[in-house]
Amino acid sequence: MSDNNNTNQQWGGRFSEPVDAFVARFTASIQFDQRLYRHDIAGSVAHAKMLNKCNLLTDKELADIIAGLEAIRQEIEQGQFEWSIELEDIHMNIEARLTEKIGIAGKKLHTGRSRNDQVATDIRLWLRDEIDTISGELTRLEQGLSVLAEQESQTIMPGFTHLQTAQPVTFGHHLRAWREMLLRDAERLQDCRKRVNVCPLGAAALAGTTYPIDREYTAELLGFDRPAANSLDAVSDRDFAIEFCSVSALIMTHLSRMSEELVLWTSAQFDFVELPDRFCTGSSIMPQKKNPDVPELVRGKTGRVNGHLMALLTLMKGQPLAYNKDNQEDKEPLFDAVDTVRDSLRAFADMVPHIRSRKENMRSAAMKGFATATDLADYLVKKGMPFRDAHEVVGKAVAYGVNSGKDLSQMTLEELQQFSATITDDVFEVLTLEGSVGARQHVGGAGEYLKIG
C-alpha cells in the first residue's frame, strides 16, 4: 500500500495544493473496501457495455476496457496489484490502473456515472452475494436441526419457564423451536434481498446524467430487478444495509439464545448434551475442563452485530440528501456484520448435527420439579372440577410432595385422594412423562411427533 506525502488525486483540478498526507490516510477507504473489487469490476463491465450500446464507447474501446478490467482482476487475485492510499478507494485505484494499462479509453469509463452511484452499486452487488451465502448456511443449519430433531423425537426432557421446570417436552420439540426461529430469519433475509437488488447506476452524483444512457439495460446485465426510481435516493439510500444488519441482529440473537442453552446443558449441573471435542477447548490449569467455546463466542459476537445496527442507524439519522462523506462509515460495520453472522452460522451448521443427548439425565431432570402438575389439574377439570379449584388442589399436593420428597407420579392413590376424592386410579396414566407429552399430540404440541405404544 503506497502512501506519498504529496497527493495527486484524479479530481484535483479544482485544488491549488495537494491534500495533506494525514488527511489522505484519514479519508481513504481503500484499506477496507478492497473486498469490493470483483463487484466494482463487474459493475464497470456492465456500465461499459451500456455505454457501447448507447454509442458512447466504440467496440474497440469496449473490448480494451473489458480486457483491461479482467487483467486487473487477475492482478488483484494474484496479489500483484499495488493499492494506493492517495487514490482513496477501490474505484479510483482500479480506474487509474485501467488508464495506465489501456490509455485514454480507461478515462472514458467514468462517462455517465459518479463514484456515488458506483459505490452504491458495488455494495448492493456484494451484499446480494453475501446474502445468498448466508442463506445457504441458514438452510444448512435448519436442515441439521431437522435431522437431529427427528432423532430426538422420543427423548423426554423438562421444558422450562423462568428457567424452572414447567412441563415435560421432548428434545426434538425443543430443537424444532430453534428451527422455527431460523425459518423466520430465512424469510426476513429473502425479503431484505428484494430491496438490496435495485440498481443505482445511472443516478450519477445525485441528479442523473445528460448522456443518453439505458439504465434498464445496465440493471439487467447485473441481475438487478430494476433500476432505482429516484436518483437522489439511489445514491444516499443505505436502508438496505440497515435492514440487513437488523436481520443479522435477529439471527445472532437466535443463535445466542441457542448458545445460552447449550452452555447450560453442557455444564455438570445439567449434563443434558455433549458437544464434539473439536468445537470445544480445555483449560490451561484445570485438566477436567471442556469449555463450550463456540456457543460462548457466538453469544458474545451477538453484541457486535447489534452494535453495527446501532452504528448504521446513527450514521444515517442526521444526513441530508444526497451523498455525504459520512457514508464511507457504512462499510466497516456492514462488512463485519456479514463476516460475523456468516461465520457464526457456519460454526453452528457444522456443530449441531453432532450434538449428542444424555437421555437418562434429561428424563431424570423431567421427574423433578413436579412437571406433570398441570396434567393433574387438567385431569380434575375433565372430571368436572372448576379449574381454579383444581389449581388449588394440585398446589396442595405439590406442597405435600415438597415436604415428603415425592413427585406426583410417586405418590400413592391414597396420598393423592387426601386432596380430592375425585382422583381415581386412572390418574397415573396422566402423571407419567409419556402420558403428559402424549396428551399434547395436536399440531405444534410437544407430543406431535411422539410415538405412543
Enter the DSSP assignment of 108. Answer: H
C-alpha cell at 73: 482482476
Q: Is 283 a catalytic residue?
A: yes
| Paired strand residues for 2 | 84
The single residue of 267, 283, 364, 404 carrying the catalytic annotation is 283
Query: Which grid coordinates are listed for 245?
Result: 444488519
All 3 cell numbers of residue 213?
Answer: 444512457
**How many whole angstroms separate alpha carbon 437 and alpha carbon 439?**
5
- For 215-245, give the DSSP string: HHHHHHHTT-SEE-S-HHHHHH--HHHHHHH
What residues have CB less than 8 Å from 213, skipping those under 6 apart? 50, 51, 54, 56, 112, 202
Place of cell 471435542: 277
Residue 227 backbone phi and psi in degrees, to 5: -75, 155
Whether the ω angle into residue 322 lies within 30 degrees of 0, i.e. cis, is: yes
Task: Tell how far CA 369 is from the center of its chain.
Answer: 36
Collect all residues with Cβ–Cβ distance below 8 Å to 351 and sequence separation of at least 6: 275, 276, 279, 294
Neighbours of 203 (CB within 10 A): 31
Query: Which residues make Cβ contacts (< 8 Å) with residue 201, sequence separation at least 6?
Result: 43, 46, 47, 113, 117, 118, 121, 215, 218, 219, 222, 227
Q: Is 427 helix (H, G, I), strand (E, B) or coil?
A: helix
CB atoms within 10 A of CB 79: 6
- Could you give the CA distance from residue 219 to residue 50 in angstroms, rounded to a whole number? 10
Q: Is 29 a catalytic residue?
A: no
- Which residue in this structure is represented by grid cell 492482478? 75
Cell 474501446 sits on residue = 61
User: Which one is catalytic: 162, 246, 248, 420?
Assistant: 162
Q: How many CB atoms lie within 10 A of CB 318?
A: 8
CA distances from 221 to 90, 132, 224, 226 (A): 21, 19, 8, 11
Active site residues: 162, 283
